[in-house]
Amino acid sequence: MASVSARLRDLVARGRNVVALTGAGISAESGVPTFRGKDGFWEKESIEDLASPRGFRRDPRRVWSWYDARRRQIAACSPNAGHRALAAYQAQHPGTTLVTQNVDALHRRAGSRPLEIHGCLFRVRCPREGVTREDLRVPLPEIPPVCGCGATLRPDVVWFGELLPEKEMGEAMEAARRAELFLVIGTSSLVYPAASLPEIARGRGAYLAEINVEETPLSALADEVLTGPAAEVLPGLLGIGDP
Ligand code: OAD
């Protein structure tokens, strides 16, 4: 496993104001494809067609077929040792804030209560009533799914050009400002405003550690970079063995 400095070990052991931001890379070992890079979703599919309000207005059926396929794929996956290590660490250190860009709900299935700043694939939203609700049906019985009020439901995920959920992002910002240790795990750090969180934390004096299989635009700003798969690095780093 990647070698860990004494400073980082100490901050992990203290467990004061620790923030972890995760991206698609943490779910890679669970079998969930990432977005960018080889075999990433956005290499094969159009963001404009599948992840924008315009694409949805144009063809809700196409968008929902893709989301239904992703829901089916993820429902067949399980949380991995990285998700479990973060959940166990959070249980030991309740002041820890877990922020995720992932919409796959794998952190929650591992027992964490993350701030889901990009929404969740297993929630639907009624644009007419303005309400969201959990929907675990896999596959969906009708595409596109329709609300009791007659409106076409949409996935409760953030699309390009849309604002992030105010409450979750507000809490994430606040945690970033207070952070003593900020872990950036499995994200390309290309999508803002999520990618601003580690920058804010670093600017306020947090120790910034990145865990990724490759370099990212954030690597140069990090105090420490641990190169390796999150599911392998996290149990050792957080001192949580995987039974
Ligand atoms: P990306 O696909 O952009 O980046 C995934 C990152 O994970 C890359 O930096 C990989 O090197 C790294 N990675 C791959 N396998 C890994 C592993 N086993 N362990 C650790 N790291 C690994 O995914 P995100 O950064 O999450 O937005 O993308 C950000 C947002 O862009 C997503 O939330 C999504 C997407 O469009 C929305 O859905 C709104």
Nearest residue (by CA) to ligand 1, atom 22, is: 25
Q: Say if residue 112 is in the same domain as residue 42.
A: no
Q: Which pLDDT does position 40 carry in this prediction?
A: 84
- What are the residue numbers of the active site? 118
* Ligand 1 in reach of 81 Cβ (< 6 A): no
Instruction: Give percent above pLDDT 70 in the chain.
Output: 98
Q: What is the pLDDT of residues 80-139, one digit of tens each?
A: 999 999 999 999 999 999 999 999 999 999 999 999 999 999 999 999 999 999 999 999
Per mean pLDDT, which range of 2-6, 61-65, 204-208 is the poorest?
A: 2-6
Tell me the CATH number at 54: 3.30.1600.10
Nearest residue (by CA) to ligand 1, atom 33, is: 101
* Ligand 1 in reach of 27 Cβ (< 6 A): no
Atom in ligand 1 nearest the alpha carbon of residue 230? 19
Residue type, 94: P
The reported pTM is: 0.96
Q: Say if residue 152 is in the same domain as residue 207.
A: no
Q: Which of 135, 30, 41, 29 is nearest to 77 (CA)?
A: 30
Which domain range does residue 147 map to? 33-76+126-157
Domain count within the chain: 2
**Predicted confidence band of residue 46 (pLDDT cuts 50, 70, 90):** confident
Q: Is 175 in contact with 15 (CB distance < 8 Å)?
A: no
Q: Say if residue 3 is in the same domain as residue 56.
A: no
Distance of CA 217 to the CA centre of its chain: 18
**Predicted confidence band of residue 242 (pLDDT cuts 50, 70, 90):** low
* Ligand 1 in reach of 99 Cβ (< 6 A): no
Q: Say if residue 142 is in the same domain as residue 99.
A: no
Q: What is the pLDDT of residues 187-203, one digit of tens each?
A: 999 999 999 999 999 99
Q: Which of 35, 39, 123, 214 to mutate to test the pocket of ligand 1 (most atoms within 8 A of CB)?
A: 35
Q: Which of 41, 71, 213, 225 to mutate to test the pocket of ligand 1 (most atoms within 8 A of CB)?
A: 213
Q: Say if residue 22 is in the same domain as residue 138.
A: no
